[in-house]
Structure 1
């Protein structure tokens, strides 16, 4: 234990041995998971809970893993056999952080240093976005002072991810920048494939395949060629992962060749500094966090560049289930409104509908609109038709907006998407707030009641949200005349019922009761598929519902 670089845990070597299951040494070797014994002492359990609270991942387990842990070579054999150009451009790696855990930050830096060809890596610039945690003060200064190629820049106030990423730009002397999140691990051979693509095309913005570092066990879970996903987005302007379109898939002769993507995740990408400057860097009016990846994606495509995922490059990332700092939630809406106003043209209305057309104070965007004109960027219509034609358009839905109760005025169907780990309580009845968000639903032409990729479902005798999967349990028939929503599979109707803890949504036998009456906003019968229209008509003839 003492010969390896670990974070300080305050535990003796014997204590560490006693709390870790299995015989792998050192813990996490080759990217393997670290499992703890069940009967941990109270003070250790408290420390684990604190780590989750502070960082939204298991900091305690991270601290048990060496900062220079080994990883298996996760590349495809074709990638391993590639010969890259000798005169690849040099790179500066920029890592921004705010109150990051020590072990994950240093493991990120170490993986870059250990797995990047020295002649290609000019420097790593750490940007501290005004962190408050003690371990990121003098201790970090001391680490940077003794670590070659690492530089530290500190913000004097909280800047947010966009402005923090721009702080080190004057210090960059290389043609290429690689932005890296502060809880990552770069795998072997990660850098050369990215630099080769930018050397071949300086207007290409390229992302590695982002592997998963498990937030609890820190297992490194690599994506194979068959697992590759592209970046997309929904009309909430939230990034999501999408499958490779079938027409693209059939044309691919090499499954690990670079592939175009409509958007990128934003935390990990390489870009030529000259191209970044030409497209105006980031919108500095963005606050804290959110939307910067879509802004970069849209303007890259619309203003003369391309976005690619490079499957020969692998970087692991901890995907946190929540943002561990509260103020970012408040900044999201402002950022998305700025994004929509500048880049979405007439399509911005689809996002504004989802926030109840309440744009709030989003600042002045005139300089960003002027930049777009100066660059002679293409329209968002061009982007949809040529880059993301599979994006589902809201004007194809049979209804969109709130679904509210007739029997209980002011009560709306609400998607509690924060609790998707459980079937219970992720669909609720809540006071209508007329701001879209979790109360903005769409009704598809095939009868799905949707929150983007999630559908209203009936599973294990529970009304719940589950991933849309063309299942009979996710088909609902809405009759605008009788105002009932009938579940196709059970032939029961969506109802409001009173329980001691309050109103709940249930399925019961269809009756003329007002407790089964609902209004779907902006319902258009003619947009339903013909078989859905026939089903509605026939059922009404039989039951008058």
Structure 2
């Protein structure tokens, strides 16, 4: 009996496999990655004519002709390298060749050439975004501005196609490419693109290297759209990325908007969904992403509502053109790369506007470790020049905190700032103190005049330093081998008794001996986050009266214990400053 059942099952499996193979070959035209023009015609409701077959359109890569794939609503199912945002993994000689290109461009050019310039992406929006309806006729028109220098053609073209394919044609006025004096011939490459693409694209070329700010200004001067959206040249916009940005601007023309930035891996081009975070900066004016705390998440009424952010993160943003011009556009004396987004952000907030992240707008961005190009005078010199302009024009007396955090910026030439100072006066902008109090209060608590101690927190007995261990919010922190300049060991004690690491505070949720400590969002109410320490020695939790301790030299866990004379309770910060509370 068992043998008969086995025979019956085996026959069924063979029959099913045979039928599947026949079905696949019979319907292979609907699955082949090379038949993408066919997909376009089906989406447009057209049939392919004999004339089309005899006169194929110019191809823009080995697989795709010039027609757009109609990806506005959602991407169609396709197969091929990188489709649906999947990673492309290389091996052997191909990987070695790719590694060579990594050193040139700081991302994988070989993989970029393999991936279709019109590849599909997974929809990374929150499901509630799909329930939001927009009246396109009520939204303003847009010009997308993409400035670049020596960009890999496949990456630039993928950026262009993603905008064309996923933007409502009635809203997309134009795409302006600003070539910042590249070495390669972009004109000839653009000529090879289909007419349908060229009809939406303008090319502006500078006559010398200008840098990001000046190049973007060149594009803005040529723009016809009511709204300007600035993108980098190695992006891929996602499904319905544009409508939420325009809707937010339409509601308040003084609002500058930014999408949520998804990550495109620089080696594999894998497209990965990012969590929603704010862009913030430290006193050295470096910008970083700050994930929403549990308190932030609890306060949000909806996961799709716009989120206020102190600064623009990666320079990808949208702004009403008239408002942009009224508040002074971008600083035309910024050089090279860096600082231009921070300068605009401070000006927007301090001069009557606001900045919001729009959760239903998603844009993927290839994050490179550092720019793959140089700039006349050097990238670092132009970066310090730009930051100096930001500090001198906008930070008032708090510029001392910038120079204390970035000493190499002191005594650097930052150019003539009289025009920007006059602009600030003309716009009747708020002081930087107002910005700290109303927009970014967590930074105010870490100003130099608010600190008791800062730097590495060293335990001499264990010869270890307090370390976040990259644990993140609400995870136990501990100790590790001390390192010079490690961000994960840069703690500070404030006048209010908080022990802070960036925007998080050392928190004790359970007052029982042996309990571990975590980093939580700073709530400013003392209690679980208030400590006593103003000189080398014990770090005492004020409310419980217990001491910070190392649980064991092997476990390297940070705990709270009843205070005693144990050497593992003795801590010393790298720097101390005496303060007196008024």
Structure 2 length-normalised TM: 0.68
Q: Paired residue for 1:504?
A: none
Are the aligned partners of 2:145 and 2:220 in contact in 1 as well (CA < 8 Å)? Answer: no
What SS does the corresponding residue of 2:133 show, helix, strand or coil?
coil
Matching residue within 319, 336, 341 for 1:293: 341
CA deviation after TM superposition for structure 1 residue 469, in Å: 4.4
Deviation track 1:469-519 (CA, whole Å, cap 9, x = no partner) reads 48xxxxx9999679xxxx952788xxxxxxxxxxxxxxxx989xxxxx999
Are the aligned partners of 1:266 and 1:292 in contact in 2 as well (CA < 8 Å)? Answer: no
Distance in 2 (alpha carbons) for counterparts of 1:256 and 1:341: 37
Q: Paired residue for 1:63?
A: 113
Deviation track 1:80-127 (CA, whole Å, cap 9, x = no partner) reads 222212221100000011111111110000000011111100100011
Q: Paired residue for 1:495?
A: none
Q: Which runs of 5+ in 2 are unaligned?
A: 1-32, 37-58, 64-77, 459-464, 468-479, 506-517, 521-530, 538-547, 554-565
Are the aligned partners of 2:181 and 2:206 in contact in 1 as well (CA < 8 Å)? Answer: yes
Assess, with a 3 A threshold, how the Cα gap between structure 1 residues 221 and 518 changes in structure 2: closer, same or farther. closer
Distance in 2 (alpha carbons) for counterparts of 1:523 and 1:265: 33
Deviation track 1:278-306 (CA, whole Å, cap 9, x = no partner) reads 11011112111111111111111111111
Q: Paired residue for 1:304?
A: 352
Q: How many residues of Structure 1 are paired with residues of Structure 2 in the alignment?
A: 450
Q: Which runs of 5+ in 1 are unaligned?
A: 10-23, 405-412, 416-424, 431-436, 456-467, 471-475, 493-508, 512-516, 528-545
Deviation track 1:455-477 (CA, whole Å, cap 9, x = no partner) reads 9xxxxxxxxxxxx948xxxxx99
Q: Paired residue for 2:511?
A: none
CA deviation after TM superposition for structure 1 residue 245, in Å: 5.2
Assess, with a 3 A threshold, how the Cα gap between structure 1 residues 429 and 259 changes in structure 2: closer, same or farther. closer
What SS does the corresponding residue of 1:282 show, helix, strand or coil?
coil
Matching residue within 267, 276, 279 for 1:228: 276
Deviation track 1:144-190 (CA, whole Å, cap 9, x = no partner) reads 87622011111111100000000122211121000001111111111
Pairwise CA RMSD of aligned residues? 4.1
Are the aligned partners of 1:6 and 1:64 in contact in 2 as well (CA < 8 Å)? Answer: no
What SS does the corresponding residue of 2:370 show, helix, strand or coil?
coil
What SS does the corresponding residue of 1:93 show, helix, strand or coil?
strand
What SS does the corresponding residue of 1:444 show, helix, strand or coil?
strand
Q: Paired residue for 2:493?
A: 444
Aligned pairs (5 A) from 1:88-487: 88-132=139-183, 134=184, 136=186, 138-143=188-193, 147-223=198-274, 227-244=275-292, 248-326=296-374, 327-356=378-407, 358-391=410-443, 392-394=445-447, 395-400=449-454, 443-444=492-493, 452=502, 469=519
Q: Paired residue for 1:461?
A: none
Are the aligned partners of 1:84 and 1:196 in contact in 2 as well (CA < 8 Å)? Answer: yes
Q: Paired residue for 1:26?
A: 80
Deviation track 1:22-79 (CA, whole Å, cap 9, x = no partner) reads xx83111111122223xx12xx344212221122112211211100001122322322
Assess, with a 3 A threshold, how the Cα gap between structure 1 residues 380 and 118 changes in structure 2: closer, same or farther. same
What SS does the corresponding residue of 2:156 show, helix, strand or coil?
helix
Assess, with a 3 A threshold, how the Cα gap between structure 1 residues 53 and 144 changes in structure 2: closer, same or farther. farther
Are the aligned partners of 2:112 and 2:154 in contact in 1 as well (CA < 8 Å)? Answer: yes
Distance in 2 (alpha carbons) for counterparts of 1:144 and 1:205: 33
Matched, 1:523 2:581: no
Structure 1 length-normalised TM: 0.72
Deviation track 1:362-405 (CA, whole Å, cap 9, x = no partner) reads 1111111110010001111111111112224233332357999x
Q: Paired residue for 2:27?
A: none
CA deviation after TM superposition for structure 1 residue 454, in Å: 11
What SS does the corresponding residue of 1:342 show, helix, strand or coil?
helix
Distance in 2 (alpha carbons) for counterparts of 1:454 and 1:129: 40
Distance in 1 (alpha carbons) for counterparts of 2:577 and 2:260: 41
- Per mean C-alpha deviation after superposition, the further-off stretch among 317-326 and 208-217 is 317-326
Are the aligned partners of 1:144 and 1:151 in contact in 2 as well (CA < 8 Å)? Answer: no
Deviation track 1:170-226 (CA, whole Å, cap 9, x = no partner) reads 211121000001111111111111111111111110011111112222121123xxx
Are the aligned partners of 2:174 and 2:225 in contact in 1 as well (CA < 8 Å)? Answer: no
Q: Is the radius of gyration larger for structure 1 or structure 2? A: 2
CA deviation after TM superposition for structure 1 residue 6, in Å: 6.5
Distance in 1 (alpha carbons) for counterparts of 2:297 and 2:500: 29
CA deviation after TM superposition for structure 1 residue 344, in Å: 0.9
Distance in 1 (alpha carbons) for counterparts of 2:251 and 2:424: 26
Are the aligned partners of 2:536 and 2:573 in contact in 1 as well (CA < 8 Å)? Answer: no
What SS does the corresponding residue of 2:550 show, helix, strand or coil?
coil
Are the aligned partners of 1:63 and 1:103 in contact in 2 as well (CA < 8 Å)? Answer: yes
Distance in 2 (alpha carbons) for counterparts of 1:67 and 1:343: 41
Assess, with a 3 A threshold, how the Cα gap between structure 1 residues 180 and 519 changes in structure 2: closer, same or farther. closer
